[in-house]
Structure 1
């Protein structure tokens, strides 16, 4: 909904919320041209159009209007949609200075704003990145916000980039956003399951925030509904890209009519009735029901049987298991990426035998080498992503340092 600030209000309540069961709108604070994809949208400039530090509040006033109309919705706000400030200290400092300008009134609107993200897909197509960037931006954003408003990551272009351990350990990050345009439902499910396990052990939440397919309604349904089902089975919210009028049979856009919309509405209502391990109190959802036998699960509390296990599972996936005796909840298998020992069925998160230097659930790992993939302040480090604070300074993890003091990453496009 990034470009629908002008023409969306008349369908918000009746069509999106009550009929379709949708609860969150995702918007970007970013300029757009007029009549974007034939949508009748008006020209809107960026917050800083002329030069950095000179603000044009027109787009902010449009968001104010949308929030006023958004009865029954929460708004998910992404502050930018470019990756230029990801790489250098000066743009990062300008980003940090910009946050207070969005005004404490937005930062306190926890009744309307579900979460803020620093940027949409900040990493872009860079292959080598500063994995502490999100955490350091989140620290600045938290200082200008109500404590009940979450900070999220804004997603990434590549699916596997959602599995940076630092994102799950950073104290100021609340939600990890997962983006993918893959239609391989099994690989998406595997990544979602790993992300969900990491999030659980660190008190975070995850959501499948962006996914889509270019094509007519029928092919959109065929390609995307398996991803929605995979997400819903794990109790992970889903947000397909993108709601825009008019719909397109050759691009990603869909609208409130046709087979894809009706299927999405049914899946949305079904997801809200199913128990999930992730709590979203901001949405004030109706009572959900425990999962029945043999449905996928993450923890025992989701299951009517009280047991989440793979004990009798023919495919080794964790399911609500009647009469189970090994009710451990979902734990990661050997050689799956991990953040700490508690993620792993074998109890060892280590890079001892890793062929790529990443921490994995390691069978037979030496106990002295099993432990945390991300380190607390004061520990020795070689990169910002090694540190829970997101900053490696002079070889040690350092809390709340300005961008210039943190280790500079070498970026590869």
Structure 2
């Protein structure tokens, strides 16, 4: 019963899929399961395909390794006692530069997280709600060379991260992120976020207090302290941010229309990419380079996998976070890493924020915009190293 409950909660398997996985774990073949359950082999293969997709595995053997790890995790949990819920981790993938794991939180939710770069290096916790945590090879290489262990949680509702109640705020998630950091035995760390992830990272930095060595905000921008800052955005993001700030539920419907067009085929994907960079000439000039187009398409697909969460993330980003950033600046340095041609979150607002806060600084990269971290992986890694390494230098 314990393993079946864990499979249901961790991977959202149906009862039929759970029974199939349990029978495979017992050593039965598809033929034997068909005879035992009176189901056709075609039905069982369809269910198996669904199980592999939900568990992120590609074969029966890799699926069984995941189940064995889950059984081991549960047996350790059982050995510690039934009454005290003890968080545990399940390793999914591991190689020289990257490993993926699932962490079971004390409240029963789960976070999948990916570690990249130098897996024995200085920790940097990086939150990316609207971009995929599977970073490009050039970024991972730069992280490894700079001795950085990047820890990236998969956003709620994607991968094996539990979809939480709608009421969960960035502050609620900060407590869960800090629990994961604690489980990894990390005392001091730097953290950061990409785009709207900067708001979640700021909440984590606020909660961690003096444990946080610094906060990096990549393409997050300065807090949107007034309506004028939103009105200065290009038309597409301006409409989105106005709706997200004042009518967050209303933002879901247009997102669904864009998502439906995106999933309609290659032409729909192209329209979504073009819409994503509407009003950003610096990105438009390079967006159809194969790597950049693929990154943007994958990020859009990642966002559209959970539209209510996407609307929630944008609403958090569109809010006035001046007070939050100010609290972080009391104990941790805030570092902005931003494209000089980013017209959505203007560099001039960042410079103004830094002038008003002695514990904030910025690196504004000329000629770059929203694709900054992907086209400048070495600079991105250097900014992480500035905060994460004891020396402050890569």
Both proteins in one fold, TM over 0.5: no
**Greater length-normalized contact order (CA 8 Å, ≥ 6 residues apart):** 2
Q: Which has the higher helix share?
A: 2
Q: TM-score, normalised by structure 1?
A: 0.26
